[in-house]
Chains A and B, each alone.
Chain A
Amino acid sequence: MDRRSFLAGAAATVPMLVAGRVWAAPKADMRTLVVFLRGAYDATNVVIPVSSSFYYESRPTIAVPRPGSGAADAAVALTPDWGLHPALKDSLLPLWQKKQLAFVPFAGTADDLTRSHFETQDTIELGQPVHGTRNYNSGFLARLAAVLTRTKPIAYTEQLPLVLRGGHGIPNIGIASVGKPGVDDRQAKLIEGMYANDALGSAVSEGFKVRDDVYKTVSEEMAAADRGAVSAKGFELSARRIGRLMRDQFNLGFVDVGGWDTHVGQGGSTGYLAGRLGELGRALAGFAQEIGPQAWNDTLVVVISEFGRTFRENGNKGTDHGHGSVYWVLGGAVQGGRIAGEQVKVAQASLFQNRDYPVLTDYRALFGGLFARAYGLDQKLVQQVFPGVAPKDLALV
């Protein structure tokens, strides 16, 4: 039973609330993966405002040609107004055509205007009001995990990111570098014993457990590779591993991928950014393939970045720090194949401070709306994840 038909058939079923937690119905457990493009990817050259002559005037050397312009490396038409970067054609266009992929333009941080990578990444991961004291030990995915039951959260990163801090023993694993453990079971027990009364005790126990679980999954992949399977590289390899882990073991995940801060020589249809996009597209398609068709129907992938980049190219054939971005929402049950959320015509007059995309959809409102639908959270529980935020329901799931 896929999620949509389940919801249709069980529309009257209200999620059971026990002590402020949602007991999601069996088999309808959602899987959520948040992919953070660190460095502020140039959204304007990925989901391209192809009907805007202002776009082509503003980017004389890095614009991607209009669909149907005859150029071999033109943008791929999504709607009359928007086109997709050609580096994503093979990987993500099929998902768009299956209506499993939507883009939310003019998205970002409504209240953080620092244009600082680090500041704004922190802002998003914490998901707290910008003004006032921040709690750096309370990320929004950790708060989501706390209001749900049966969540198994994990960060597929070498360090535990802010977004998953503050939960109870939420694990992380550097997914790109998994090897056979050298510390054996007996030694692991002895080490756990040393930490029995230590504040790090639960982290230590969880670390050994996750290490063993992940190694088991990855050793299956290694066995497959030994039989001649083509092995993926870079972020695609990581995403495929994540797909298998989220099929079997974890249902709330976070991963980040860097290399998007394109101040200089970013390229257009080809070049540096195109290369990064190609890898990202293959990674997401690989993730969907590995998690498998059944789990994919209950999976939500959200791709975000801290902000957009300047609408106009700079003097170095690159772009500088901007404001509004474009977020991606993917999954088997996503109501996609559309550009979602509030929009304005892309023109000089609609730019924020005459340089960037404005933010019309706040990241918290978007996530709040997605979580409310995906997990059946009521207003009160959404408020626990994003205090003071009115969720925006874009009907994406």
Chain B
Amino acid sequence: MTWGANESTAAEFVALGRDRWLERQLHPGPKDRLPAAAQAIINGLPIAARPLTEIAWPLTAQQRNANQIPDPDQKKTLQQAFQQSLNELGRQAATRSLLRDLYSPDQLREKMTWFWFNHFNVHLYKSDIRETVGDYEEQLRHHALGHFRDLLRATAAHPAMLRYLDNAENAKGHINENYAREIMELHTMGVGSGYTQEDVQELARILTGVGVNFQPPDANAPKLDIMAQPDHVRAGLFEFNPARHDYGVKHFLGHTIEGRGFAEVEQALDILARHPATATYVSRKIATYFMSDTPPDALVQRMAQSFRSTDGDIVSVLLVMFKSPEFIGSLNAKTKYKDPMQFVLSAVRLAYDNKVILNAGPVLGWLNRLAQGLYNHPTPDGYPMTAAAWNSPGQMATRFEIARAIGSNAGGMFKAPPPDTAERPAFPQIASAFYFNAVQPTLSQATRSALDQAGSPQEWNALFLSSPEFMR
């Protein structure tokens, strides 16, 4: 339920008791409870201080300006500056995300935020998604423990998703069915759940005109005739443009959808969110994420039942799972093999607890080396959740390298990025009271024997973080 146990989490768990701790995880307050040092870093990030439109509008102007410069060298310089602005925004989003993952006591919200991002995956390096990815993640986080329908709506109206799956290009007479297909295949019903190529094509028609507009409303309003104007929707960078929409009647999953603008999209999302296949597909994915490669089907069915009866209330679905004997059993048997995200974050959390890192760069680098970089899965299926994707020989060898870095010299995590570059060295402390009480008794003889041969505290840390026990 967390990005890795450590002394702080254990202390809160003990203080509250299991039930109250779980209640708190499922219903975190609106405010972050981050350590002051972590909150201060986030507060210093420009993306945290300004809404997306205020970030995007000047950038769009900057880009247009660059493209209009006749001198090729000057143009190139300005275009590079624009790209650097985008890179910086992406980096800020990743920094905020990692700080919350590492230090928020409301761990379940952060775990679910990552889950939903992966479920509604977008790729940082496509188009201008670096600009919008931070806001996209904020929206997912806002609904992470809310209702599925709201998550679906938030993604369907977000410039990051509309760019990523090309729906910003989808218009009447210029159909692009990429997003329509992935909504059904990956976001809701799941492949092979009964929809047809015709359903994909009809949903693509419903989604025509659903796009983006990166300029202020007064600078770039579409020219619409008087009848179409009431259908026009603008919200931030999102735009529904009636002039690009196919107003014909659609036949989608057995429903007849009358052409009437963006309300068609809402109707289609209702149909998808309430489809029984969606309840099962999402429930199974959640259970796989938390429990094992093959979650028990009976439990998945109970979760899906809860999904249907609560209209996709995520907390209800999670509660069914967390309170089930199957879940307790999976914790005791340690059936879940850590993916790289869980491995790296749990290692940093255990080794450094609430000593706040100054530089997210090394952590992001390790995740990329392990092929599970933040926002860095190019295809919309998201990262796989099963062990076989992450326990191959090459993966294991790389994990040990990273365990060594985390366990010995912190790999630059406590050296602030330029221009500050101050280093406030931190020393990993795994062999704490938490370790001796909770971890050591679970170690095998082989692991203890290897740890006994460690030549230094750093080597001991590296070996512990490399142990079979720490991989689960």
Contact = CB atoms under 8 A, between A and B. Distances in A.
Contact of B394 (A158, A165, A191): A158
Given A172-B395, A187-B404, A258-B378, 20 more contacts: A118-B191, A136-B388, A159-B392, A172-B393, A173-B394, A177-B369, A181-B401, A183-B400, A187-B400, A190-B450, A194-B446, A194-B447, A194-B467, A200-B471, A203-B392, A204-B393, A207-B392, A263-B166, A316-B176, A320-B177
Interface in A254-272: 258-259, 261, 263-264
Interface string B372-413: 000000110100101011111111111011001100000000
Interface in A160-209: 160, 165, 169-174, 177, 181-183, 187-188, 190-191, 193-198, 200, 203-204, 206-208
Contacts of A174: 369, 371, 394, 398
A38 interface: yes
A62 B172 CA distance: 21
Contacts of B169: 263-264, 315-316
A127 interface: no
B453 interface: yes
A139 B169 CA distance: 37
B49 to A, nearest CB: 33
B449 A193 contact: yes
B370 interface: yes
A21 interface: no
A263 B127 CA distance: 13
Given A190-B453, A194-B466, A320 B176 contact: yes
**Chain B contact patch, size range:** 35 or more
Contacts of A171: 392-394
A208 B175 CA distance: 50
11 contacts: A116-B191, A118-B186, A118-B381, A159-B389, A159-B392, A187-B459, A190-B450, A191-B400, A197-B444, A207-B396, A259-B378
Nearest to A214: B394
B388 A137 contact: yes
A159 B379 contact: no
Contacts of B389: 159-160
Interface of B: 166, 169, 171, 173-178, 181, 185-186, 191-192, 197, 369-371, 378-379, 381, 384, 386, 388-398, 400-401, 404-405, 444, 446-447, 449-450, 453-454, 459, 462-463, 466-468, 471
Contacts of B174: 314-316
A182 B411 CA distance: 12
B393 A119 contact: no
Given A160-B392, A187-B404, A316-B176, A210 B397 contact: yes
Nearest to B448: A194
**Chain A contact patch, size range:** 35 or more
Nearest to A162: B388
A4 interface: no
Contact of A200 (B171, B191, B391): B391
A338 interface: no
A39 interface: yes
A277 to B, nearest CB: 18
Contacts of A173: 394
Contacts of B450: 190-191, 193-194
B393 A169 contact: yes
B181 A191 contact: no
Contacts of B467: 194
Contacts of A116: 181, 185, 191
Contacts of A264: 166, 169, 176
B387 to A, nearest CB: 9
A196 B467 CA distance: 11
Nearest to A314: B176
A299 B349 CA distance: 48
B393 A183 contact: no
Contacts of B398: 174
Nearest to B171: A315
B404 A183 contact: yes
Contacts of A392: none
Closest 5 CB pairs of A and B: A315-B174, A160-B392, A158-B371, A207-B393, A207-B397
A210 B459 CA distance: 23
Contacts of B192: 114, 119
A373 interface: no
Nearest to B389: A159
B336 to A, nearest CB: 14
